[in-house]
A and B are shown apart, each in its own frame.
Chain A
């Protein structure tokens, strides 16, 4: 039964109710996407664990392990970007758009800094993708994660442009929620990769 058939004009709230209903479905879809991405990373991580367990000596002879100190700072840069993204989202919910943009820009810069740190490490590590099981796993997993960070930065730039164009308002901002969840997800994947390659 439509609003018109009930004898009154369609109201703005009808649109909002429809948006909320669709947003719930889209949110569920997005969470399912994150779970599928989680399974993708899990399969690569288990492959790495299998190879590591099967190796007679670990780390393989002649392989230089990555610099954990540099990686620790790089990790904090990425985790810090998760915090700034959270602040951006909070500011959007409270209607302070200027602060939202500042935190978003900070998030994008920190994400780019993380990629720069990753690039620096790639050029200085004493291991190659084809040289050892460690190198293959390291470059595949961190490279895949780096690609996710790169996609996240592009995603955030698009979201920032959309907010400048007035696509979202205080009640309808599903894209920003998705962007925040994606960025936190990328942070959390790095927690596991940091532990696997720099700690364990």
Chain B
């Protein structure tokens, strides 16, 4: 497998994985939206940030953001 093909495969895995995990995280936040309790509130905040991380991974793997697009 060439370096270019490997990079393509890794990017594809990352994008698909990020979509799945991001959707799951948002769905869980939505499910717990009205549930009271400090632990649930902290959990929701952390899950939302995790979903944000998935967005960053998608954009980075897609080549929209990141130093790889700058040609370093």
Contacts and interface: CB of A to CB of B under 8 A. Distances in A.
Classify the interface of chain B: helix, strand, loop or mixed. helix
Interface size class of B (residues with CB under 8 A): 20 to 34
A68 B68 contact: yes
A69 B67 CA distance: 12
A51 interface: no
Contacts, number: 112
Contacts of B42: 31, 34, 181, 184
Given A31-B38, A181-B42, A82 B25 contact: yes
A79 B28 CA distance: 14
A72 B43 contact: no
Classify the interface of chain A: helix, strand, loop or mixed. helix
A82 B25 CA distance: 9
A24 B39 CA distance: 9
A191 interface: yes
A76 B13 contact: yes
A153 to B, nearest CB: 18
Contacts of B28: 83, 86
B46 A72 contact: no
Given A188-B53, A191-B49, A76 B18 contact: yes
Contacts of A181: 39, 42-43, 46
> Which 10 residue pairs of A and B lie closest in terms of their CB atoms, listed nearest first?
A191-B53, A76-B17, A72-B14, A184-B46, A69-B10, A188-B49, A199-B66, A79-B21, A83-B24, A177-B39
30 contacts: A31-B42, A34-B42, A65-B67, A68-B60, A69-B6, A72-B14, A72-B57, A72-B60, A73-B10, A73-B17, A76-B14, A76-B17, A76-B21, A76-B57, A79-B17, A79-B22, A79-B53, A83-B21, A86-B25, A177-B39, A184-B46, A184-B50, A191-B52, A191-B53, A194-B53, A194-B57, A194-B60, A195-B56, A198-B66, A198-B67
